[in-house]
Amino acid sequence: MNTNITVIILAYNEEKRIANVINGLKGFDHIIVLDKSSTDKTAAIAESMGAKIIKRPYTNDSPSKESLLMTKKYLLEEQPNDWIFEITSSDIVHHALLNEMKKAIAQNQDHYDVIEVPLYRYAMGVTGRNTFHGEAENKSLLWKRGSMITEPAMIHESPYEDIEKYRMKIADPRIAIYHLTHANLDLVMDRHWRYAVQYVEDAAERGRGRERVMRYAINECIRTVFRYFRRGIFKSKETGKAQLMTLIMYNCLIYLNAFFSKEKEAEIQEIYQQIMDECSGN
């Protein structure tokens, strides 16, 4: 088994960021952009930089089961590398991480199908202590191509939680993935809306009713405020408050997406129609 690595980048309308992501992947000999039918120049830019483009219809989920199956088929049949590294358009990869990943593969590939990679989460320009994301974390982003799971996980959950994993050990803490989010308000609003819609759809597919989702959203709002004070996030001053507001807003959007079901909209419309009919004399 070789230690060569194929990169998959999940992307939708990322023409402003995709070049920076690909520029940080020097040394990787096979880069795939899984493009959710972007309406901007994402695919053209990525292709001009040597990436392979796999297009799929737009859906809120990221990625869907159909997309996972299509990607797995391509990985098994058409690309030569034994290991897959999955990132998003928010991720910048340190130039030395590739060599560290190859070392980890060489030492552990006979025992593990999934390797956890160090990652720093930035939101609004900050990370670490006194932020909601905390210190560096390890994510299951490097896996053998035959071990790819085709049952999508809930948004922001890993499908590899129940699989035994190897955690990379790197002496230099700077060598990691840098997940850079919430750079401007347009990105915040776009992502939070799409993710909230996706969460409600994912929950419905798993048999979680709208009342349960609404309770979850309320509880998350309460927990978010609790974490704000318990972890000293208020010490980040304006940035800490802004992070608090975005997380509360995200969970409020989940609540509202669950509340405004088709049945609820029909119920409201019936009430309003009665009012309009009465006011018109009908």
Dist. CA 49–CA 252, nearest whole Å: 39
* Residue carrying structure tokens 């609790």: 226
Dist. CA 198–CA 195, nearest whole Å: 5
The proportion of the chain whose per-residue pLDDT surpasses 70, expressed as a percent, equals 86
In the chain, the amino acid numbered 158 is S
Residue-wise pLDDT for 260-278, tens only, equals: 998 999 999 999 999 999 9
Residue-wise pLDDT for 26-71, tens only, equals: 888 889 998 888 999 999 999 999 999 988 877 665 555 555 566 6
Residue-wise pLDDT for 100-120, tens only, equals: 999 999 888 778 888 999 999
**Cα–Cα distances in angstroms (integers) from residue 167 to residues 4, 9, 21, 113, 139, in the given order:** 19, 22, 23, 12, 9
In the chain, the amino acid numbered 183 is A
Beta bridge partners of 120: 178
Closest residue by Cα to residue 62 from 145, 149, 148, 155: 155
Q: DSSP string covering the chain, please?
A: ----EEEEEEESS-TTTHHHHHHTTTT-SEEEEEE---SSSHHHHHHHTTPEEEE----SSSS-HHHHHHHHHHHHHH---SEEEEEETTEEE-TTHHHHHHHHHHHHTTT-SEEEEEEEEEETTB-BTTSSSBS-EEEEEEEEGGG---SPPPTT--TTTTS-EEEP--SSTT-SEEEEE--SHHHHHHHHHHHHHHHHHHHHHTT--HHHHHHHHHHHHHHHHHHHHHTTGGGGTHHHHHHHHHHHHHHHHHHHHHHS-HHHHHHHHHHHHHHHHHHHT-
Determine the pLDDT at residue 55: 85
Residue-wise pLDDT for 71-84, tens only, equals: 666 666 667 778 88
Closest residue by Cα to residue 94 from 9, 1, 28: 28
- Average pLDDT score over residue span 130-150: 80
Dist. CA 52–CA 168, nearest whole Å: 28
Residue-wise pLDDT for 224-260, tens only, equals: 999 999 989 988 889 999 999 999 999 999 999 999 9
Dist. CA 258–CA 249, nearest whole Å: 14
**pTM attached to this predicted model:** 0.84
The proportion of the chain whose per-residue pLDDT surpasses 90, expressed as a percent, equals 54
10, 88 Cβ separation under 8 angstroms: yes
Determine the pLDDT at residue 29: 80
Counting every residue written for the chain, the total comes to 282
Dist. CA 115–CA 109, nearest whole Å: 9
Determine the pLDDT at residue 158: 60
Determine the pLDDT at residue 250: 96
